[in-house]
């Protein structure tokens, strides 16, 4: 935990004062992104202290060779690594020849950062005394344009406070960068061409192996006290690097500003031969607009996003800051414009986890994007998996499955599995279930059945085939069992009959059988096409049905709960609260075997099933399971507190729900798990959104209608959120006394509030 | 399997004819070693075909950095890698400037290798036509001296059959070598000095990180038709390489011979500054003796070894060849002279498995060395572990254990763990039991209790502390359980209550408690010293006792067998014989998850416990367990067939026992598991020895006496073996009718034969 260094504020993330210990954490927290690229909040000027440099381009990765001590058959050949891309933000600053470096200054008398989430920009201001005695005030604003999404802008203002001096700015581009997680000191980029033309420079480089071609570009000019200078720079070219040196004599009190535009053009979006040309067009547009007008456009782009997705909380600044930070980061990461992209668990804020797509997308992110964006965005996320179906079938084949059974990868960039730990890659197979659940969830929310008919059914058949083959018959139990899996709780490996896995396997088969019938009845042409393609027979579906019908679920009569897996009760069931504080987080303090034989749960597992399939269980059952499992849950996965918050709210345990809400919404801001330096937890931020809308707001969809059971934590005066439900925008405001619904437009809309039917038109208020 | 390319022979391993596909396998099978160094049977002359180069120095290793995708707490910092050492055997050969290279010859009209195990030398002869048309006959003899164990000798004879020619020999040393398993292209050797003096040359090099200093040396001369030439060589020095070029014009039919001595001096045995000096002394001694006299000494050294350890088999050449190959390789690997060394699973024949010491030593190798060498050799092997006790305690601490609990490493060079797969390193904890079992076994056989009193008790206490802490209480079972382990069957990971592990844990505690009493009674000073040092209290031993008393063992009432682990019966119990052949070996064909959820057993697990503790179970129980588990056992560990052979013999299933015997004794010769190219399975060779002595011979020790229940496979006319029991040498010869005992010396000795007491003196024969 590092709770106190971010200043609470409704719309901004603010750090006051300079602490080198916080540099790497702040680099994560103040990250910028615009869906197409992103970067950690590294300083523009040189910094010789500890830092984690990172700049990332959406979809650009490196297939790092899988290297393990002992190879296991079935491992993928490579692990897709998120690639640190060439640096375009760098500006070296020299004052009378002395470099500006916050790590070597005599004194830092003022330091402040602000990430303005409302408007989408990042500012850093500081005042320092250099080793040579010169006192400086610096103010830097940076943003990645939502409008021109290949361009970012920096306005670097510097004032000499106590003397006149010669200032040298060297804005530069650098493609000689490495990944921090590059254990093997590999180089991932090959620089092919470095060009400078006047105020502009370009580096063409491509990634090794994947051969993504990029042009990293920049253009700069200076202003003295607001007046543009026409000083010509001199070029300084190194290996993998080009800088343009601007020199200027300034008087005491003068403000010299360097304005820099930069960014990338990439062969994912343009022909490789046109990258420089497109880069020039970008620079042309940006400089013609100028930094101020570009910033105006940035503000209005963000205003539009907030208009659809903002959640307000009155009476609790930290809670308000938390939810906006989550919504902001989700929108920096993924905007749904490019269906080849997906939502990486660290977004553009770090290297960890490699790859871009986990089951997080289907299990946690879909509801946020369905409710706050056009429904095509969620559909794109589903189509992403349909497009990877062939690869998922190949993946299953590698593991010994046949007849078109599919196992979706644990981690992927292009549909291929690119994770290589056997206990995850081969065993965390429940991910297959999330693919089917997302379809169910999408249809339930949007009412759009065409995805299932046109594409989804094929995916469902392949998944059902997998579950059928993966289950095996246990003679002593006279049931089908699923042996050797890792459930959502990754603190258990190679267990038998993980309840969640068995449950979602059974559900997948039954859901597939239902959809087969439904497509047959409603979309006979699609049905014929799919049956023809998959060669599905009645014998096969009968076999599936048999397995689903006789699926085994571990259960404790004594506790009246489903067991997370066989043998769970043999563990020493000491509640996590009884562990010494020095042992937490256990994943940083305990060896793996100790974690595995403990009862401690990384994230909701049985309770995840209760979340997905809540209609299948009574409130009493939920309560028993929550009471049984939560005390052993250490929430060391970012995906844990949100589900627990939703369920605590459902059980009317508002104090607990509120604590979990804070934990999920401020996970990174308060660094609960001591790891924010590595980057942010992006996908779980969608879970934070759910913990308000589904948790406190109690929003559900049933029978094609929204329903609400609003609750409010006692720390709050009111809160509001907005959803787009089937192309109608509904704003929900909950106060301590009532709930108001504002339906945009002239239509009527029927909903349920606390079980009662309400027909909305315009504004309606219901007493609680 | 590759059953037919080694010619059956009682005393030699013979390959006839050249097949490039067999080169790497033969390089393993024809390996040489003398306990201090060893090498694969690489060709002396250049070979451009596929080859696996390997030369190894005992105790010289490299601490390769542990690099894994996802770090787990507790992993050791490094993995000890067996290091390929500088090459001293190399001799380039040019005929009229054309290199001799078996891969580029026009024709190979004859090719034969022989490893003469009786005398300890390796010969290779071949006749070829070179690309330039010259026909050559070559005959090379090589051996590593048992007498001067830093020296090896090569006699390389070459005859031009069809023309006169100019021959150039370039004997060389090369320290620019790599490991085949060097994924990261690391260099492990740093060459510091290259010197040549006349016919001699020296390369000084040290290993990176571990800084073992070595001098690799050579001296050569030529003979023409048996007459020594005094041709001076010219030096050819490269980076990491020195060659001495000898040139000679020969006539058709002339035989030109290059004699080369070479080897290593190492800082493990000499001060680093003296390595060259000692190397010169070695060369002086070797050249003064000459190759023929050195070979005579070699023959008599091996005669002495065979005198004590030979096993004869009449009527079955393949079986005879097999057992001698096993005994020969064990003696090439470890002679018991240096107590810092141990028995590496691949000896000096390959790189796989890294490290030198596994539980194989305690579980499989001790009986062989106890019976065929002076008992000090076995005691050295025990002391090796005593010397590592502090490191084993540190290792346990890293995993969260306390109060002096020890976990011996899975793999080690110097006492530190150097293996890094969680399911093995952290979970295959049964190895701790083997340490205690070896003490029990050593005392049972030798009657020497001083080891336990002086050293062993401390080890036992530390191991008992580990088991006490590692067990946990299961409320539903009302028993102590051991969760999350890997048993001897590594095809199961992270299982609960592996029967073997629980059983040996219980036994360790009980055995420790007994030894505490025994040392207290018989060696009170040792007792006081050990109690003072370990601060052991009565409270602690009471706690141990409680855990041992209430240890849980999984059991099936239906099958009346102990279950290998909880849940074993939930698997699909399809016998291994029903698997399609194309699926075998499963570790090369199946993904790891598929193996884990299958019932297939890599090596004896429950049956290993029945082997160690056979007195605890009835013959009927053994039979039930054998019948239950053997059908699922795929014997993909080299350590499996020997235990099964012994138990099949005990059950009087001689046909099966014989099959297992062939499989264990000819595992490498017939390449059962398709991997002999990687090196030989050394430690299991001691198991082969047991399968004759304990299996067919039925030798046991009880009440300080040997007992025998001899059986003979119907394929054999007779067999004999010799054991040293408490300094008396007894030869046992079993024919189809009777068993004879030849006791050396004038003493009497009381034994049991088929349950009956027999007092031996000189030769005694008992009818069967």
Q: Are strands A61-65 and A98-99 parallel, antiparallel or unpaired?
A: unpaired
Q: A566 labelled as ligand-binding?
A: no
Q: Is A478 on the interface with B (CB under 8 A)?
A: no
Q: Which of A745, A708, A753 is nearest to A729 (CA)?
A: A745
Residue A68 has pLDDT above 70, yes or no: no
Closest CA to A161 of A107, A197, A236: A107
Asked whether the predicted pLDDT for residue B746 surpasses 90, the reply is no
Give the HSE-up count for residue A647: Cα atoms under 13 Å, Cβ half-sphere. 30
Alpha-carbon span B593 to A231, nearest angstrom: 66
Asked if B567 reaches chain A (Cβ–Cβ under 8 Å), the answer is: yes
The pLDDT of residue B1: 79
Smallest CA-to-CA distance from A325 within A25, A731, A686 is with A686
Can you tell me the ipTM of this complex? Answer: 0.92
Check if A510 contacts B (Cβ < 8 Å): no
CB contact under 8 A, A184 and B67: yes
Choose the catalytic residue: A114, A135, A458, A490. Answer: A490
Least confident of A229-243, B7-21, B84-98, B109-123: A229-243
pLDDT above 90 (res B99): yes
Please, is B340 exposed, middle or buried when counting C-beta atoms within 10 Å of its C-beta (0-12, 13-18, 19+)? middle
State whether B73 and A496 contact (CB < 8 Å): no
Q: Taking Cα atoms as reference points, which of B119, B57, B123 lies closest to residue B324?
A: B119
pLDDT band at A3 (very low <50, low <70, confident <90, very high): confident
Q: In the structure, what pLDDT confidence band is assigned to residue A518 with cuts at 50, 70 and 90? A: very high
A114 close to A289: Cβ distance less than 8 angstroms? no
Which tokens belong to A91?
Answer: 């500006």
Residue B2: pLDDT band with limits 50, 70, 90: confident
pLDDT band at A82 (very low <50, low <70, confident <90, very high): confident
How far apart are the CA of B488 and the nearest CA of chain A, in angstroms? 17
pLDDT digits 0-9 by tens, B288-302: 999 999 999 999 999
Question: What pLDDT is attached to residue B419?
Answer: 85
Assign B185 a pLDDT band (cuts: 50, 70, 90): low
Give me the pLDDT at residue A355, please: 67
Long-range contacts made by residues A42-46, C-beta under 8 angstroms, separation at least 24? A42/A87, A42/A89, A43/A102, A43/A124, A44/A89, A44/A90, A44/A91, A44/A140, A44/A142, A44/A154, A44/A156, A44/A260, A45/A91, A45/A92, A45/A93, A45/A99, A45/A100, A45/A101, A45/A102, A46/A92, A46/A93, A46/A99, A46/A100, A46/A101
Please report the pLDDT score of residue A287 as a whole number. Answer: 97
pLDDT for residue B331 is more than 70: yes
CA distance A712 to A695: 10
Give the nearest partner residue to A484 out of B473, B566, B596, using CB atoms. B596
Residue B603 among known ligand-binding residues: yes
* Cβ of residue B674 closer than 8 Å to a chain A Cβ: no
- Predicted confidence (pLDDT) at residue B493 exceeds the cutoff of 70: yes
- Residue A255 binned pLDDT confidence (cut-offs 50, 70, 90): very high
Residue A253 has pLDDT above 80, yes or no: yes
- Residue A571 at interface with chain B, using a CB cutoff of 8 Å: yes
> Residue A154: enclosing H or E segment and its boundaries?
strand A151-160
Q: What is the DSSP letter of B693?
A: I
Residue B762: the pLDDT is 93
What are the tokens at A388?
């990877």
Digit-coded pLDDT (tens) for B635-662: 999 999 999 999 999 999 999 999 999 9
pLDDT value for A187: 80
Domain spanning B7-65+77-309: which superfamily? Glycoside hydrolase, family 65, N-terminal domain (2.70.98.40)
Find out whether A360 is annotated in a ligand binding site.
Answer: yes
Is A490 annotated in the active site?
yes
Give percent of chain B with pLDDT exceeding 90.
Answer: 91
- Tell me the pLDDT tens digit for each residue of B555-577: 999 999 999 999 999 999 999 99
Q: What is the pLDDT of residues A415-443, one digit of tens each?
A: 999 888 899 999 999 999 999 999 999 99
Nearest-CA distance A565 → chain B (Å): 12
Average pLDDT of chain B is 95
The helix, strand and coil proportions of chain B, stated in percent and rounded to the nearest 5, come to: 35, 25, 40
- Residue A407: pLDDT band by 50, 70, 90 thresholds? very high
Examine the pLDDT at A50 and tell me if it is beyond 60: yes
* Lowest mean pLDDT, pick from A138-147, A351-360, A379-388, B360-369: A351-360
Whether residue B66 and residue A69 make contact (CB cut-off 8 A), yes or no, is yes
Predicted local confidence at residue A185, as pLDDT? 63
Return the pLDDT at B72: 81
What residues 523-552 of chain B have any CB closer than 8 A to a CB of chain A?
none
- Which of A399, A481, A596 minimises the CB distance to B494? A596
- pLDDT of A759 > 90? The answer is yes
Please give the average per-residue pLDDT across A304-323, as a whole number.
Answer: 98
Query: Are B360 and B639 within 8 A, CB to CB?
Result: yes
C-alpha B323/C-alpha A53 separation (Å) is: 62
CA dihedral sign, ordered A662, A664, A665, A667: positive
pLDDT of amino acid A66: 67
Predicted pLDDT at B183 = 55
Please report which residue ranges of B159-256 form alpha helices under DSSP H.
Answer: none
Query: Is pLDDT at B458 greater than 60 in this prediction?
Result: yes
* Residue B759 burial (10 A CB sphere; 0-12, 13-18, 19+): exposed
Domain parsing of chain A, residue ranges:
31-65+79-309
| Res B69: pLDDT | 66
- B566 interface with A at CB cutoff 8 Å: yes
How many Cβ atoms are within 10 Å of A251's Cβ, its own excluded? Answer: 11
Q: Is B612 exposed, middle or buried, given 0-12, 13-18 or 19+ CB atoms closer than 10 A?
A: buried
Residue A228: how many CB atoms within 10 A of its CB?
12
Per-residue pLDDT, B604: 95
pLDDT over 60 (residue B186)? yes
The two tokens of residue B607 are: 């049956």
> How do residues B373-388 score in pLDDT, each as one tens digit?
999 999 999 999 999 9
Indicate the pTM of the whole model. Answer: 0.94
**How far off is chain B from A429, nearest CA to CA, in Å?**
11
Residue B747 is assigned to a ligand binding site = no
Q: What pLDDT sits at residue A764?
A: 95
DSSP element (H, E) containing A463: helix A457-470
Minimum-distance CB partner of B597 among A420, A484, A589: A484
Mean pLDDT of A115-137: 98
Q: What is the pLDDT of residue B337?
A: 87
Read off the DSSP letter of residue B403.
Answer: T
- How much is the pLDDT for B114? 98
Determine which of B597, B636, B674 to mutate to test the interface with A (most A C-beta atoms within 10 Å).
Answer: B597
pLDDT (0 to 100) of residue B636? 94
Beta bridge partners of A189: A207
Instruction: Please state, in angstroms and as integers, the Cα–Cα distance from residue B326 to each residue in B372, B642, B742, following that order.
Output: 13, 12, 24
**pLDDT higher than threshold 80 for residue B77:** no
Please give, rounded to a whole number of angstroms, the shortest distance from the CA of B135 to a CA of chain A. 45
* Of A74-88, B16-30, B354-368, B435-449, minimum mean pLDDT range: A74-88
Q: Which of A343-357, A592-606, B583-597 has the lowest mean pLDDT?
A: A343-357
Pick the CATH number of A31-65+79-309 from 2.70.98.40, 3.30.70.120, 3.30.420.40, 3.40.50.300: 2.70.98.40
């Amino acid at each position: 935990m590092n709770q106190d260094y971010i200043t609470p504020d409704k719309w901004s993330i603010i750090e006051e004062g300079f602490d080198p210990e916080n540099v790497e954490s702040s680099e994560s927290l103040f990250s910028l992104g615009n869906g197409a690229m992103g970067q950690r909040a590294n300083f523009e000027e040189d910094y010789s202290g500890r830092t984690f440099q990172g700049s990332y381009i959406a979809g650009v990765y490196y297939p790092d060779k899988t290297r393990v001590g002992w190879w296991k058959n079935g491992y993928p050949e490579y692990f897709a690594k998120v690639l640190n891309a060439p640096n375009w933000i760098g500006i070296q600053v020299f004052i009378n020849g002395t470099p500006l470096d916050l790590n070597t200054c005599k004194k830092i008398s003022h330091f402040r950062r602000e990430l303005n989430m409302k408007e989408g920009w990042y500012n850093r201001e500081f005042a320092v005394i250099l080793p040579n005695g010169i006192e400086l005030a610096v103010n830097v604003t940076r943003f990645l344009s939502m409008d021109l999404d290949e361009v970012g802008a920096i306005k670097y203002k510097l004032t000499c406070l106590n003397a006149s001096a010669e200032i040298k700015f060297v804005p530069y581009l650098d493609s000689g960068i490495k990944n921090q997680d590059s254990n093997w000191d590999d180089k991932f980029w090959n620089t092919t061409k470095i060009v400078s033309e006047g105020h502009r420079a370009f580096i063409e480089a491509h990634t090794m192996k994947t051969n993504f071609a990029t042009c990293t570009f920049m253009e700069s000019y200076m202003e003295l006290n607001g007046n543009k200078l026409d000083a010509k720079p001199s070029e300084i070219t190194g290996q993998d690097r080009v800088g343009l040196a601007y020199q200027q004599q300034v008087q005491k009190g003068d403000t010299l500003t360097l304005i820099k535009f930069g960014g990338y053009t990439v062969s994912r979006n343009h022909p490789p031969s046109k990258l420089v040309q497109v880069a020039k067009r970008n620079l042309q547009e940006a400089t013609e607009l100028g930094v101020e007008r570009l910033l105006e456009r940035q503000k209005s782009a963000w205003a539009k996003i907030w208009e659809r997705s903002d959640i307000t909380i009155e009476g609790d600044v930290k809670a308000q800051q938390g939810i906006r930070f989550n919504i902001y980061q989700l929108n920096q990461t993924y905007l749904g414009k490019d269906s080849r992209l997906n939502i990486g668990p660290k977004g553009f804020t770090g290297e960890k986890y490699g790859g871009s797509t986990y089951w997080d997308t289907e299990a946690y992110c879909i509801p946020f994007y369905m409710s706050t964006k056009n429904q095509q965005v969620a559909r794109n996320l589903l189509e992403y998996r349909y497009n990877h179906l062939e690869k998922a079938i190949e993946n299953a084949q590698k593991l010994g499955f046949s007849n078109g059974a599919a196992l979706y990868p644990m981690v992927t960039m292009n549909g291929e599995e690119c994770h290589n730990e056997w206990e995850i890659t081969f065993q965390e197979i429940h991910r297959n279930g999330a693919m089917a659940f997302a379809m169910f969830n999408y249809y339930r929310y949007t009412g759009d059945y065409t995805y299932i008919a046109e594409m989804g059914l094929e995916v469902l058949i392949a998944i059902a085939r997998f579950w059928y083959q993966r289950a095996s018959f246990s003679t002593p139990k006279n049931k089908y069992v699923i042996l050797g899996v890792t459930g959502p709780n990754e603190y258990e490996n190679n267990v038998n009959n993980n309840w969640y896995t068995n449950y979602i396997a059974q559900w997948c088969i039954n859901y597939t059988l239902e959809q087969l019938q439904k497509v047959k009845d409603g979309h006979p042409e699609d049905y014929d096409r799919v049956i023809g393609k998959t060669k599905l027979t009645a014998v096969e579906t009968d076999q599936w049905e048999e397995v689903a019908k006789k699926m085994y679920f571990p259960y404790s009569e004594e506790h009246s709960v489903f067991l997370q897996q066989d043998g769970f009760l043999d563990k020493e069931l000491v509640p996590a609260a009884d562990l010494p504080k020095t042992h937490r987080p256990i994943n940083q303090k305990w060896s793996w075997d100790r974690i595995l034989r403990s009862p401690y749960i990384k994230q909701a597992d049985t309770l995840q099933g209760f979340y997905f399939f809540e209609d299948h269980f009574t409130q009493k059952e939920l309560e028993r399971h929550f009471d049984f499992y939560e005390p052993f849950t250490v929430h060391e996965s970012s995906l844990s507190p949100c589900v627990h918050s939703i369920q605590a709210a459902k059980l009317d345990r508002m104090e607990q729900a509120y604590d979990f809400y804070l934990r999920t919404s401020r996970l990174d801001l308060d660094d609960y798990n001591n790891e924010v330096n590595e980057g942010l937890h992006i996908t779980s931020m969608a879970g934070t959104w759910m913990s308000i809308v589904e948790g406190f707001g109690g929003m559900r969809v049933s029978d094609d209608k929204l329903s609400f059971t609003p609750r409010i934590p006692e720390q709050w005066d009111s809160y509001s959120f907005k959803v787009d439900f089937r192309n109608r925008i509904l704003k929900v405001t909950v106060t301590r006394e009532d709930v108001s619904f504002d339906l945009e437009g002239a239509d009527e809309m029927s909903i349920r509030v606390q079980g009662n039917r309400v027909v909305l038109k315009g504004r309606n208020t219901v007493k609680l």
